[in-house]
Each structure stands twice: as C-alpha cells, then as structure tokens.
Amino acid sequence: MLIHIAGVLSAAEVAYCRALLEKSQWVDGRVTAGDQSAKAKFNLQIPQDSAEGRELADLVLQALGRNALFNSAALPLRVFPPLFNRYDAGMCFNTHVDNAIRPLPGTGFRFRTDVSSTLFLSELDEYDGGELIIQDTYGTQKIRCPAGDMVLYPASSLHSVSTVTRGSRWASFFWSQSMVRDDTQRTLLYQFDRSIIETRQSLPDDHPAVLGLTATYHNLIRRWAEL
C-alpha cells in the first residue's frame, strides 16, 4: 500500500525545520546504511544524536501523533526516531530494500521495519530530479511531493532516489513497526476504516450498520495485531 498524506507539517513547521537544518552539521549518509545499501547511497544527513536531530525528530513525532491518516494506514506500534537527509546535485540512492530489523541507538532494543516513510521538506521548484521511485506489486511509482507532505509505503519494497540534477532535496525519513505486520491486512484495515468514516457522514454513530462495521474493524485488529 502506497499512501500520500498531505500537510503532515504546516508551512511554519517546515520553515522551522529548514532553519534548524541550515545550522546543522551534515555527515555522510552511509552512517545509517547496511553493508549492501552503503554501496548504493550517496547523500548527506544530520547525526541522529545531535541536538538538532533530536529536536526535529520530536517535532515530526508530535505531528504524526495528531495525524489520523498516518495512524489509520500504518497502525504504528513504534516509530523509529525520524532522521533527516539531503541530496545535493549529483547525489542519489540506487535501488535497495530497507533493513528488516534496525537497532535503536543507545538501547538494546531492536525494531522491525514494516512501513517506510518519507516526509518532504523541499518545495518542488527547489530541485530537479530526486524522485522517490518505489517498485512493488502495484508497479513502479515516481514520487515528488510538496514540502510538508509525506508518502508511506511497505518497507519490503525495492526503492531508490533518482539523481538530483539541480538544487537540493531535503527530507525526513523513518520507519514504523506496525501492530499488523502484513501489508495486505494493513491495507484491508485502512480501506475498512475509510469506509467507516464515510458511512458515519451519512448515518448516526448508533445506527446498527455503523456499530456493526466498527465492531468488525476492531475485531479484525484484535485478531491480527501483535503487541
């Protein structure tokens, strides 16, 4: 399932992120790549343990917490602390798949990556190229989104970032461990939830149809969720 979520960050939040990132130290993006991905990754990112990185990660996590569409689609059990990267002219990330398990820095905890997310921080007219290219059963999708928008997709997908030919592409990226690890089941639950929301616009919440649909949705989560 691939979902575009508009307006995860407001224009003011994007501007704040950009201003803080402007003052940050940038390092080789391969510091967070696995052995195979490191050979395909050519970008920059800010250190995860930097003060700027921690502050901006908290800002993004707060925005995700209040975003109903993200929570409906990802059904997150845990969200990996967001990271921040940039692709200047000539930089790219060749085709790869995200690591299935990631260690959480500074802890002994390991994290399963079910859903990948890219939150765009550059406006479309600020750069050329830099498309997020995702390959999966639904075909190949080339994605560029306005600043503040986010795209979610299965972490199991092969994906890449095409070469930036002008300007600079800035983004936040992170992973979610979902309560429902299977993408097909998550997709069904997401579509079910959207249908319930539409039904509630026409029928009162105590209508038997609404109650029945809501009960079925929660019983499916009860059956499929892993906590």
169 marked as binding residue:
yes
Amino acid occupying residue 115: V
CB-based contacts of 113, cutoff 8 Å, min separation 6: 80, 98, 99, 100, 101, 102, 155, 175, 176, 177
CA distance 17 to 43: 18
Which among 89, 156, 84 has a CA at the least distance from the CA of 120?
84
96 marked as binding residue:
yes
The three-state secondary structure class of 216 is helix
Q: Which two tokens stand for residue 196?
A: 């319930």
Q: Which two tokens stand for residue 133?
A: 């290219």
4 marked as binding residue:
no
Decide: 7 and 151 in contact? Cβ < 8 Å.
no
206 marked as binding residue:
no
CB-based contacts of 134, cutoff 8 Å, min separation 6: 2, 140, 141, 143, 153, 157, 158, 159
Specify which residues 176 forms β-bridges with: 79, 115
The torsion angle over the Cα atoms of residues 185, 188, 191 and 194, rounded to 10 degrees, is: -70
The DSSP output letter for 40 is T
Give the residue numbers of the binding site: 96, 98, 159, 169
Give the residue numbers of the binding site for Fe cation: 96, 98, 159
Give the residue numbers of the binding site for 2-oxoglutarate: 169
